[in-house]
Each structure stands twice: as structure tokens, then as C-alpha cells.
Amino acid sequence: MKLILIRHTRVAVPPGICYGQSDVSLADSYAEELERARSLIGGQSFDAVFSSPLLRCRQLAEDLFPGEKIVLDHRLKELNFGDWELQPWDQIYATSEGKYWMDHYLEAPCTGGESLPELHARVLSFIMHLDDLSCQQIAVVTHAGVIRLIKSILEKQTMDEVFTTFSPEYGGVYQFEIK
């Protein structure tokens, strides 16, 4: 099964702000980034289309796949940063909890949020669900953290390896095989 992952486009959030599961608006560059994503997908057709329910993904999915049934799946949401949502990363890092999390992000939960292993479990549950479908090609519109974890799972890379070497671009399109 071919899995096409599409990262949402830029958001209308200042640089340096943590926005995880916050439902933020799209940036003014959306129209151009939509066209770029559309060109990267080409004329491919899909047996199923999934999306994170957050606006930045849902809107892109609806515009990329008009008239298609889009399944909104909460397992495709970005990491829940809890109390840190919409806070500047500099302020987060200035706290002892934030400093601890950034030094131990592979296992520690965010204050009031979730841990990377919890996100990993959500993503793995989604991938296992795909095994039950009789599809040859699936499109998924989601977030950088989810894309990294899917890559980690499917290519048998460690989370540390993926999070330090792979940075999905806004509006980027990535192809994987599920065997």
C-alpha cells in the first residue's frame, strides 16, 4: 500500500510560538503553498483520504481533494503541548519544566500535555487501522510530528534519529510504502 503524507501549509502564528494542537489560521501564503502541494501530488488518485481535524490540515485536505470523502482522524493531530500551547518557546525553555522537557523530549510529557511515546501510540494505532483497509493508495494530511513518527515506524528508525535528521516542509509531500 502506498501512503502519501502531506504536511499542512504555513500558519498565521509568529515564529517561535508553540502551537501543537491549537486550531490556528492559515498564513497569507496559503494559496501559493496549496498550488505547490497540488503540483507535488500531480494527478494521482487515492482510495482513501485522511486528515487531522485541525483547520490547517482539514482546509488543505478539502482544497486538495474536492468532492472526496475526507476522514477526519484525531490520531493524526500534532503533539498536545498542554500548558505550553500558544506560548513562546523561549518562555517555555526558561522554566525548569520546559528545560527538562527539551532535554528529555523523547520520553517526558509536556506540562499538561502528552509525551512523544503517547503520540507514537496514536500514530501506530492509525497505521495499524490502515492494514484493515483494502486500499492501494492513501493520502494523509497531517503535521510534522506525525509524519516523522510514521517515517520512524515504517522505516524502522529511532524517534531520536527521525527527529534530528528529518524536517518535513510546510506543504511537503512524502511517499511511504506499507508492506
* Span 48-70, pLDDT tens digits: 999 999 999 999 999 999 999 99
CA 178 to chain centre: 18
> In the numeric block, which cell numbers belong to residue 11?
500558519
**CB distance 142 to 155 below 8 Å:** no
Read off the DSSP letter of residue 88.
Answer: B
Whole-number pLDDT of residue 106: 94
CA distances from 103 to 12, 34, 69 (A): 28, 35, 41
CA distances from 15 to 18, 86, 132, 143 (A): 9, 11, 40, 17
Residue 158 pLDDT > 90: yes
Give me the CATH number covering residue 136.
3.40.50.1240
Whole-number pLDDT of residue 132: 87
Which segment of 41-45, 82-86, 136-140 scores lowest on mean pLDDT? 41-45
Any idea what the Cα angle at residue 81 is, between residues 127 and 76, rounded to 5°? 20
Provide the angle, in degrees to the nearest 10, between the axes of the packed helices 55-64 and 30-41: 50
- Spatial separation of the C-alpha atoms in residues 119 and 79, rounded to whole Å: 6
Count structural domains, the chain: 1
Per residue in 6-34, pLDDT (tens digit) is 999 999 999 999 999 999 999 999 999 99
pTM confidence score: 0.96
Nearest to 57 by CA among 68, 70, 44, 46: 70
Domain that holds residue 50: 2-177
> In the numeric block, which cell numbers belong to residue 50?
485522511
Tally the residues of the chain: 179
> What's the mean per-residue pLDDT of the chain?
96
Sheet with 48-51: list strands edge to edge.
Answer: 70-72, 48-51, 137-142, 2-7, 173-177
